[in-house]
Chain A
Amino acid sequence: MENPAVSKHTISFGLALALCAVLNALLVIAKEKSKGVAEWMQKMTGNHWVTHVAIVLVVYLVLGFGLAGMNRGQGSKTTVHRLTGIVYLGVIAGVLIVLGFYLVAD
């Protein structure tokens, strides 16, 4: 299935969004489970949450522009239909991991 007239940035930033939603959740687990990671994040900006936000936003931009540059600048070949499913899955998984993690975390 081809992408009927959507911009390459729609695909690339959509994929970046789904990946970063999961990355966001994994960062939560990493900093809550590892004192070293939490201290490093605290040291980087003076507040662990500010570092967390900065990492996710930078990765989002890098992935978004990076995926748009794939295939000699034509962008990722993922279809819009598939992208919608990936966005749903990534966002819901990321949010559920965060909500579930703090339910069971010490």
Chain B
Amino acid sequence: MNQPILMAHVVFGVGCLLVAVWIFVDVLHASATNQARIRRMSWALAAAMWSAFLIGGYWYVVFYKADKSIILKGPWPFAHDYFMETKEHFVITLLLLATYLPIAASNNLAANREARRLALCVAALVAVLALLAEGHGAIIAMGVKVALLVKPN
């Protein structure tokens, strides 16, 4: 039963995406009153991303081989050849961004415009890459599905 592991990976990934958008909006309105919340949410984002990464990494190393062979025999081999190959590598950059966000958010965002701009940049990049990862994951899952739906001649 590896489906709960995979679903946990997706849940933490979506959580990371939602929190990134939350932080982006909060940083746009950074003040003395929401600064502590921005920092807490940045740590929550890092925790969500590390959870998604470790769970997904475990699933990839232990279970993905079976899915890969199904995908490659099906009508959507590009689900592995392009989408899995790219996803497994650009998420490393996403992990670094998520790890860096609490550092960027530790500065005085209410008073420092440049620090605010940096935090916005990191939160935006996290949101875009997390969305890209979710889309890639959906195509990989669809690659397995369409392969299993193919009727043998």
Contact = CB atoms under 8 A, between A and B. Distances in A.
B82 interface: yes
Contact of B60 (A5, A20, A49, A91): A49
Contacts of B132: 95
Contacts of B100: 13-14, 17
A76 B105 CA distance: 19
Contacts of A14: 100, 103-104, 118
B51 interface: no
A88 B107 contact: no
A6 B107 contact: yes
A24 B93 contact: yes
Interface residues of A, number: 37
Interface string B77-108: 00001100110111011001101100110111
A52 interface: yes
A24 B1 CA distance: 32
Contacts of A24: 89-90, 92-93
A81 B93 CA distance: 21
Interface string A1-15: 001111101100110
Interface of B: 57, 60-61, 81-82, 85-86, 88-90, 92-93, 96-97, 99-100, 103-104, 106-108, 111-112, 114-115, 117-118, 121-122, 125, 129, 132
